[in-house]
């Protein structure tokens, strides 16, 4: 009996000592950072850092449940910038200029200015990895021919926060979804990192936001420095072999002026293997994709196998041309974002140690073989174009 009583007294006494979350901070005392940018300052040496901060009071709802701030309104966020010798010093200056504590736990996007990326992103990645508030799932993008600071100031028509718009683009399945963890992993391996380019374009159809953000082109690094951009057909070719592409539509022009056919991607599987031939590595790239017919703007009857085969061969030739364009540019830049060196190191470490001192030159001259397999499974209910 006394033992039970003593236990109850101990439990009650212990509960009185609990004071809740001792280190909690109310949301109205935080500056919630949703996106950050880093550039080279005008002096060419210092770091120009920018943070996009959400206005928590503007992101609530009215009594009827509708948003208090309309989409595309710049009032939903503000951008603060500062210069300093390092990224840490920059954040300290921004923090000292704000009445509220900076909170990086909700940062969703990191934008790297092109000039900064060409100088090297090693210091930035070091700060991100060491910062306990940084989330390694934060997406990394590179400003295409522009400063990151300007990207943080462009509003979105459909999202109250521009960072949300960029995240939705990253998760669409039609671009490279590169986060800080994956970027750092590639940087510390034998391969080279890459990321999507973020660019501004004029949105003539919108009166509220004349400019908008888009993800296009692919930033290619050699170690931690940006060396080139994959654009157009080369960018699309790299998406095919990067294992990031999940949603896509293609239009192929058929030979002999027989019109055009549009297809929608159903599924895609890609792989690449290094094969040793007479002591030298060669690369085999394999792709198997399944498509559905989206639109038939040709004179073909797609229910006839021989005419469907015309579409399949035209699509196969187009995809192989895109992939070959990407690989030719990567070999010319001596950049290995595909991870060919990682595969050689894993499966033939002896040969890798022998080739490592001159690997860039070997990679640039490596023969590449393509195996593109295309299947069109659904021609629809109509055989010919209306």
Each residue's pLDDT tens digit, 49-62: 999 999 876 665 44
pLDDT of res. 51: 94
Residues 6 or more apart whose Cβ sits within 8 Å of residue 233: 321, 322, 325, 326
- pLDDT (tens digit per residue) in 244-294: 888 889 999 998 888 999 999 999 999 999 999 998 999 999 999 999 998
Residues 6 or more apart whose Cβ sits within 8 Å of residue 73: 58, 155, 160
Q: In whole numbers, what is the pLDDT of the chain averaged over residues?
A: 86
Instruction: Taking residues 135-162, report their average pLDDT.
Output: 91
The four Cα atoms 176, 181, 185, 188 give a dihedral, to 10 degrees, of: 120
pLDDT of res. 100: 81
pLDDT of res. 383: 53
pLDDT of res. 378: 76
Q: Could you tell me what percent of the chain has a pLDDT over 90?
A: 60
Instruction: Taking residues 159-181, report their average pLDDT.
Output: 90
Q: Residue 180 — very low, low, confident or very high, per pLDDT cuts 50/70/90?
A: very high
pLDDT of res. 6: 62
Residues in the chain: 386
Domain spanning 231-386: which CATH class is it, in words? alpha beta
CA-based nearest residue to 271, from 282, 283, 287? 287
Domain locations in the chain? Answer: 27-61+69-230, 231-386
pLDDT of res. 20: 55
Q: Which residue has the higher pLDDT, 299 or 119?
A: 119
Least confident of 1-10, 19-28, 32-41, 364-373: 19-28
pLDDT of res. 68: 46
Q: Residue 327 — very low, low, confident or very high, per pLDDT cuts 50/70/90?
A: very high
């Amino acid at each position: 009996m006394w033992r039970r009583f003593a236990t109850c007294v101990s439990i009650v006494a212990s509960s009185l000592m609990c004071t809740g979350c001792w280190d909690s901070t109310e949301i109205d005392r935080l500056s919630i950072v949703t996106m950050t940018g880093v550039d080279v300052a005008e002096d060419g040496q210092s770091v120009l850092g920018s943070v996009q901060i959400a206005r928590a009071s503007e992101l609530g709802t009215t009594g009827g449940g509708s948003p208090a701030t309309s989409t595309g309104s710049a009032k939903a966020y503000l951008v603060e910038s500062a210069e300093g010798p390092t990224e840490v010093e920059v954040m300290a200056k921004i923090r000292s200029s704000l009445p509220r504590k900076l909170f990086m736990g909700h940062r969703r996007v990191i934008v790297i200015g092109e000039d900064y990326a060409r100088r090297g992103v090693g210091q930035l990645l070091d700060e991100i990895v060491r910062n306990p508030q940084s989330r390694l799932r934060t997406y990394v993008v590179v400003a295409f021919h522009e400063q990151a600071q300007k990207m943080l100031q462009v509003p979105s028509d459909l999202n109250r926060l521009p960072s949300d718009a960029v995240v939705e683009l990253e998760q669409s399945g039609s671009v490279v979804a590169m986060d800080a963890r994956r970027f750092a992993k590639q940087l510390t391996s034998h391969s080279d990192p890459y990321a999507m380019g973020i660019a501004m374009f004029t949105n003539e159809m919108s009166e509220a936001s004349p400019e908008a953000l888009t993800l296009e082109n692919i930033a290619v690094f050699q170690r931690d420095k940006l060396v080139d951009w994959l654009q157009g057909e080369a960018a699309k070719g790299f998406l095919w072999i990067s294992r990031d592409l999940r949603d896509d539509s293609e239009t192929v022009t058929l030979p002999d002026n027989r019109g055009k056919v549009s297809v929608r991607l159903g599924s895609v599987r890609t792989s690449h293997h290094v094969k040793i031939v007479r002591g030298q590595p060669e690369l085999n790239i394999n792709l198997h994709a399944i498509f559905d017919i989206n639109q038939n703007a040709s004179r073909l009857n797609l229910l006839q196998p021989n005419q469907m085969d015309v579409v399949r061969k035209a699509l196969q030739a187009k995809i192989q041309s895109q992939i070959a364009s990407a690989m030719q540019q990567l070999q010319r830049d001596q950049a290995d974002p595909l991870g060919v060196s990682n595969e050689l190191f894993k499966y033939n470490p002896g040969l890798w140690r022998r080739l490592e001192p001159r690997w860039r030159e070997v990679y640039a001259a490596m023969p590449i073989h393509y195996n593109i397999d295309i299947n069109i499974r659904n021609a629809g209910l109509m055989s010919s174009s209306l």
